[in-house]
């Protein structure tokens, strides 16, 4: 599939139509926003199709909406979103720009054989809430952030919609070394990969690749055609080595209520 055709399919299935567990999806005329059902999580503007005549009102309307809800929110801007100065306009309204992420997609028909071979690392699918302590330990050590809201989201999704998420950890000598999860979207040809992180002490041992292969094989067994990742600069070269195709960058813009 050509890049522009794949990008259009991604927009339709992963931005306009996509649903996530524990999220209320609201489709407005030119915007799709997601509202969290669990406390402590933020809202998202996941898609927008704006022009010079509609952009200012749309930004003000979304700020007013989330302010009334007492929620922070993230507006994710992709390279091909319009108008061209959308990022500058969001910044002018007080949204804070975060580091861009590389959108990469793998057509599973192009998956390298190494990702389809039996995984020999100690990879475990976590199914009990108490096991998420291993996810927290790795994520917080790698990123030096608080992941309370993430753990709450994972726990809730594992309990309410276990068929839509698979959470994995790689272990070395019984210790959690790396973590990752995959989210499946009903009716979509895409599944999304998240959370691929390895503790510094265990890098170079193949844990990241083993977790990738585990999720590739699960996706393939469930009839998924494409895998998508918002890749960090650390992950992108690894994923491209395994035939993930770079489609462009997305840039998060974050808004916080004044009381925050």
Cβ atoms of residues 79 and 248 within 8 Å: yes
**Averaged over 26-46, what is the pLDDT?**
89
Q: Each residue of 88-100: pLDDT tens digit? A: 999 999 999 999 9
- By the 8 A CB rule, do 62 and 77 touch? no
Q: What mean pLDDT is predicted for residues 170-195? A: 96
* Residue 260 confidence (pLDDT) above 50: no
Backbone angles phi, psi at 31, to 5 degrees: -145, 145
Report the percentage of the chain scoring pLDDT > 90: 87
**CB-based contact 132:154 (threshold 8 Å):** yes
| Model confidence band, residue 149 (pLDDT cutoffs 50, 70, 90) | confident
Half-sphere exposure of 259 (CA within 13 A, CB side): 7
Question: Domains, the chain, ranges and CATH?
Answer: 3-100+250-255 (no CATH), 107-248 (3.40.630.30)
**What average pLDDT does this structure show over 40-52?**
92
Model-wide pTM > 0.85: yes
Does the pLDDT value for residue 198 go beyond 90?
yes
Residue 38 has pLDDT above 80, yes or no: no
Say if CB 106 and CB 242 are below 8 A apart: yes
pLDDT digits (tens, 9 = 90+) for 122-133: 999 999 999 999
State the pLDDT at residue 22.
78
pLDDT digits (tens, 9 = 90+) for 206-230: 999 999 999 999 999 999 999 999 9
DSSP annotation of 85 reads T
SS3 of residue 240 by DSSP: helix
Residues 112, 117, 123: CA angle, nearest 5 degrees: 115
Q: What does the mean pLDDT of the chain come to?
A: 94
Looking at residue 40, its pLDDT comes to 67
- 19: confidence class by pLDDT, cuts 50, 70, 90: confident
The strand pair at 122-126 and 165-172 is best described as antiparallel
């Amino acid at each position: 599939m050509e890049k522009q055709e794949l990008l259009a399919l991604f927009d339709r299935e992963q931005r306009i139509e996509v649903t996530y567990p524990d999220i209320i999806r609201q489709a407005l005329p030119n915007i799709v926003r997601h509202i969290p059902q669990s406390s402590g999580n933020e809202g998202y503007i996941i898609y927008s199709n704006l022009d010079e005549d509609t952009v200012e009102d749309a930004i003000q309307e979304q700020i007013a909406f989330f302010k009334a809800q007492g929620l922070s929110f993230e507006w994710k801007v992709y390279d091909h979103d319009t108008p061209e100065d959308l990022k500058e306009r969001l910044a002018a309204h007080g949204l804070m720009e975060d580091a861009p992420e590389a959108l990469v997609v793998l057509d599973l028909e192009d998956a390298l054989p190494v990702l389809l071979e039996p995984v020999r690392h100690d990879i475990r699918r976590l199914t009990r809430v108490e096991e998420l302590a291993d996810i927290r330990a790795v994520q917080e050590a790698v990123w030096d952030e608080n992941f309370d809201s993430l753990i709450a989201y994972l726990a809730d999704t594992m309990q309410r919609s276990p068929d839509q998420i698979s959470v994995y950890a790689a272990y070395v000598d019984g210790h959690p070394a790396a973590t990752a999860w995959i989210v499946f979207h009903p009716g979509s040809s895409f599944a999304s990969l998240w959370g691929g992180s390895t503790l510094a002490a265990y890098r170079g041992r193949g844990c990241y690749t083993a977790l990738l292969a585990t999720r590739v094989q699960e996706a393939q067994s469930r009839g998924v055609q494409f895998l998508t990742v918002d890749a960090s600069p650390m992950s992108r070269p690894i994923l491209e080595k395994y035939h993930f195709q770079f489609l462009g960058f997305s840039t998060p813009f974050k808004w916080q209520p004044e009381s925050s």
